[in-house]
Structure formats: C-alpha cells, structure tokens
Amino acid sequence: MTSRFTELVIDCHDPETLAGFWQEVLGCPTMERGSDDDPSVSISGGGTSVELVFVPVPETKEVKNRIHIDVNASDRDQAEEVERLLALGARPADVGQGDVSWVVLADPEGNEFCVLRSRVD
C-alpha cells in the first residue's frame, strides 16, 4: 500500500485572494469555500491533479519557502508566461538562484515559485 499526493496546503493571510491568484495561474475551474467554521478556500481541476488548499494563519511569511511550486507554460514561451504572471500580481524574487534557466517569482503573499523554461502541452 502507498499514499497518494492529493492536497497542498498553503498558509496565508487572505485565502480568497491567494486562491484567486493561483486559480488564474493554473487555470483551475473549481473554487470551493469552507464553512463559517472552516475559512479555507481550495482550488482544483484544470492543469493540476493536486488540490491547493489556502488556510488563514495570523503570522507572516518570514523566510524562503522550504517547498515551492514549479509551473510550465502550456500555450506560450517562458518570457510571455512570466509577463502574464506579473500582470496577475506576481513579483520577481531573488532567492540566490544565480544564472539559471528558470525564473523565480513570488505570489501576492510572498511565496516563491518557479516558471520553468520548457513548455508543456
């Protein structure tokens, strides 16, 4: 028996806004909001088989992520995808990556992610 990776939980201040950002990045058609007792927001579908769950926490992000998301453009080149993501609210990030083939960005709450050079169909 094994386990299956089904959810990635992301701590944040504003689950609704951050989920909306990642929904646009990944083209996830489904957004589900928790109940009054569960203020989380999740997105799924589209180009990902893993559900992303955004959970509110009081503390702010202070250091580089220990885990991060990598994305590949599906219908444009890397530079065009980076421009699209910047327009959605991402910002350039420097985590000491040096001269590499990927571009490091941060989402609206400062979580780093990479835009890889290769394109997927």
Range of the domain at 46: 6-58
Specify the pLDDT at position 120: 77
- Domain membership flag for residue 1: no
**Sign of the CA dihedral with 75 first, then 79, 82, and 84 last:** negative
71 and 119 inside one domain? yes
Q: Which pairs from 61-64 meet CB under 8 Å and 24+ separation?
A: 61/109, 61/110, 61/111, 64/95, 64/112
Write down the pTM of the prediction: 0.91
> Is residue 50 assigned to a domain?
yes
Residues 38 and 72 in one domain: no
Domains in the chain, number:
2
**Percent of the chain residues topping a pLDDT of 70:** 100
- The mean pLDDT of 14-29, rounded to a whole number, is 95
Do 54 and 90 fall into the same domain? Answer: no
Label residue 46 by pLDDT band (50, 70, 90). confident
Are residues 54 and 71 located together in one domain of the fold? Answer: no
DSSP character string of 96-118:
S--S-SSEEEE-TT--EEEE-SS
Specify whether 78 is located in the same domain as 51: no
Residues 49-94 have pLDDT tens digits of 889 999 999 998 888 888 999 999 999 999 999 999 999 999 999 9
* Confidence at 118, pLDDT banded by 50, 70, 90: confident
Which CATH number covers residue 14? 3.10.180.10
pLDDT for residue 19 is more than 90: yes
The predicted model gives 2-11 an average pLDDT of: 93
